[in-house]
Structure 1
Amino acid sequence: MRLGTPRLELRPPDDGELAALADVAAGGLHRPGERPFLTPWTHLPPRERALFVMQQHWLSRGQWRPEAWSLGLGVFHAGQPIGMVSLRGHDFPILREVRSSSWLGLEFHGQGFGTEARAALLHLAFAELGAVAALSEVFQDNAASQGVSRRLGYRPDGLSRDVLDGQPVVSDRLRLTREDWECNRSTPVTITGLEPCRQFFFPTSG
């Protein structure tokens, strides 16, 4: 399965591409002092950070069930690996809600790639899989992720509190409904190879 936008291609990476994506992560994902994720994997040493990317991808693939899945896709620009995104569903056939997450190599920040990549995930979720809502949680000081969500039409949906480095941290919960997605989508997206994959998103009888 491949998702295409004007500048990007999103696809499940093979092992060689996954290693290249892990090298991107090893090269750095954010400026010093920033903490964009609750799990502190981006602060691991470069080699361990790369290994984390590979292990998490393999783990998600191995644990896939229609009732609980995480679709990890490499993000490629002009054939070059620049980051990864994931689309997750829990009890998706019943709830029809998805969550997404992403990371890009630091050198690829500030160029609109994050918005374009998430727009592709949302097209897959709403237009092809029949989602009714996309959910996100983002730290209140993560201006880049907050900006992506606003541009795509997410609305405030409350707050959540977690513990980070022994201290409470507050995240904004955000929700994008199908109706708001319809009103705000502007990125053309093409998807190929989805039909053979549908069985992995919806349980079959018999």
Structure 2
Amino acid sequence: MRNWPLTGLRVTTPRLELRMPSLDDLDRLADRAAEGVHDPDVMPFIVPWSEAEPQERVLRTVQYHFTQWGTWTPEEWVCAFAVIFEGEVVGTQAIAATEFAVIREVTSGSWLGRRFHGRGIGTEMRTAVLHLAFEGLGARYAASAAFADNHASVAVSRKLGYRDDGIQFHSRRGEPVTTLRLRLAREDWVARPGFEIHGLEPCLPLFGATPTPAPPDR
């Protein structure tokens, strides 16, 4: 779409494609939400949207993406991708920022259909948006947070080089729970082979970003 260049933005990895979801992608993403995204005995999200009935999860999933598109500004944005694995929409991976042009920091969030857990997809899709943030947008930092007992999310962060950045507390199901804050600095980021960004340049003004200077001739 010429007047909304984000529709052409993609990040590809050795196994995945991350793209701004089409309406068909949203249908399939909503199906994953209805199927379930985690064990019902645990709650990994600060906003417990996944506890709703399947049909309500479908509606919330679609509305979330419509809301992010409709409220996007260069000063505040959430870039929520559909994640494609072996031709199937398996989950969503987002990065977000406020005043990115000044602060140069992104945060991330994601969920993955439960039946796709345990295949390393979560790590690969987080790596993809970090590649976009650091290599494409010129971010200085990437921040993340997870409940202390969300071992899978914390393990992904540590594997990718995040460092501890303090704690805070939230209410979960009526009980206090510790949240770990983690931070990855640009100098600690290690680019991985096989990760590529497509269609970014026309999107840069929407992110509050500028083109990365070309390396000097040798």
Cα distance in 1, alignment partners of residues 193 and 55 from structure 2: 35
Please say if residues 13 and 195 of structure 2, whose CA atoms lie closer than 8 Å, have aligned partners that are also in contact. Answer: yes
Please say if residues 116 and 187 of structure 1, whose CA atoms lie closer than 8 Å, have aligned partners that are also in contact. Answer: no
Cα distance in 2, alignment partners of residues 187 and 164 from structure 1: 39
- What amino acid is the match of 1:7? R
Please say if residues 162 and 184 of structure 2, whose CA atoms lie closer than 8 Å, have aligned partners that are also in contact. Answer: yes
**Cα deviation, residue 131, structure 1:** 0.4
2:108 paired with 1:112: no
2:201 paired with 1:195: yes
Which residue number in structure 1 is paired with residue 173 of structure 2? 165
Q: How does 1:47-196 map to 2 (within 5 A)?
A: 47-182=55-190, 185-196=191-202
TM-score by length of 2: 0.90
Please say if residues 139 and 171 of structure 1, whose CA atoms lie closer than 8 Å, have aligned partners that are also in contact. Answer: yes
Distance 1:7 1:203, change over 3 A: closer
SS at match of 1:39: coil
Which residue number in structure 2 is paired with residue 30 of structure 1? 38
**Cα deviation, residue 203, structure 1:** 7.7
SS at match of 1:170: strand
Please say if residues 132 and 178 of structure 1, whose CA atoms lie closer than 8 Å, have aligned partners that are also in contact. Answer: yes
Identical amino acids, percent of aligned pairs: 48
**Cα deviation, residue 165, structure 1:** 2.3
Cα distance in 1, alignment partners of residues 209 and 37 from structure 2: 36
Cα distance in 1, alignment partners of residues 22 and 66 from structure 2: 11
Structure 2 unaligned segments of length 5 or more: list them.
Answer: 1-8, 211-218
Cα distance in 2, alignment partners of residues 2 and 13 from structure 1: 10
**Cα deviation, residue 187, structure 1:** 4.9
Task: Provide the aligned length of Structure 1 versus Structure 2.
Answer: 202
After superposition, the C-alpha distances for 1:87-136 in whole angstroms (9 at most, x for unaligned) are 10011110000000000000110100000001010010001101000000
- What amino acid is the match of 2:194? P
